[in-house]
Homo-oligomer: A and B are copies of this chain.
Amino acid sequence: MMSDGPVPDVNRRQRTGIPEVVYADGKDPDVVADLLAAIHSADDRAALATRCSQEAFDEARRRFGAAAVIDPVARTITLGVTAPLGGRVVIVTAGTTDLPVAYECRNAAAAFGLSADVIGDVGIAGLQRLLDRIDVIRGYDIVIVIAGMDGALPAVVAGLVRAPVIAVPSSVGYGIASGGHAALNTMLASCSPGLAVVNIDNGLGAAALAARIVTAFRPAGEDTGRR
């Protein structure tokens, strides 16, 4: 009578504005596919799985064919499409090795109804690369900044723009930077007030926070259910 199988949180989007996302790491490929199908059919929006293995990709391809979008760099599967919410989001990375986290973030943003642009490789070792692009970055409503090693880029950006800045530490680095803890602590300790920090490599979390912000503040529509 007891159940130990997955219990999809089918009304999470109604409660929080963000549908349940399948955390595929440690789940069987067919469980991942079942959950994607269940979430997608309940909502007629994009269903997303993150941290997928090649086996999960294969099963999704076999089961959903072209309806599933697979991104092997981001390690995501997206089933279906979400209508745009509005809101201009940019994802800025310190280096090209941060791109897998950036792509997870971009794909999650898309699944939540946000369109996000990516600007890569503007780390602070060559500050002019950032300064050359800062006016473009200032044109966005939300800025997500991903950095490993010293993790100093988000604080610099936050001192230059008015938008909320979401800082994502990445696990890029070695020695004291290994695992991303140095970058995480840099971001939390930032003397630029107003940085939002999420867990290491958590591109998904940054996208979810952006979606919450846009949902909370865009002109009220019929499907937000907030008021």
Interface residues of A in 150-183 (CB under 8 A from B): 150-152, 155-156, 158-166, 169, 171-183
Are B188's CB and A186's CB within 8 A? no
- Is A120 among interface residues, defined by CB-CB distance under 8 A? yes
Residue A212 contacts which of B173, B189, B194, B199 (CB distance < 8 angstroms)? B194
Are B6's CB and A124's CB within 8 A? no
Total identical chains = 8
Which of A38-46, A57-65, A76-84, A213-221 binds B?
Answer: A213-221
Q: Give how many A residues have a beta carbon under 8 Å from the other chain's beta carbons.
A: 111
- Is A85 among interface residues, defined by CB-CB distance under 8 A? no
- Is A211 among interface residues, defined by CB-CB distance under 8 A? yes
Chain B residues with CB under 8 Å of A25's CB are 97, 174
Are B124's CB and A156's CB within 8 A? yes
- Is A70 among interface residues, defined by CB-CB distance under 8 A? no
Tell me the nearest residue of chain B to A19, going by C-beta: B193
Are B196's CB and A198's CB within 8 A? yes
Give Cα A12 to B123, complex, Å.
Answer: 12
Where the two chains meet, the residues of A that have a C-beta atom closer than 8 Å to any C-beta of B are: 1-7, 9, 11-12, 15-18, 20-21, 23, 25-27, 31, 51, 90, 93-97, 99, 102, 117-129, 138-139, 141-142, 149-152, 155-156, 158-166, 169, 171-202, 204-205, 208-209, 211-218, 224-227
Given A15-B126, A193-B204, 7 extra CB contacts under 8 A? A5-B96, A7-B129, A18-B193, A125-B159, A162-B225, A176-B184, A195-B209
Give Cα A207 to B11, complex, Å.
Answer: 30
Are A215's CB and B155's CB within 8 A? no
Give Cα A135 to B158, complex, Å.
Answer: 24
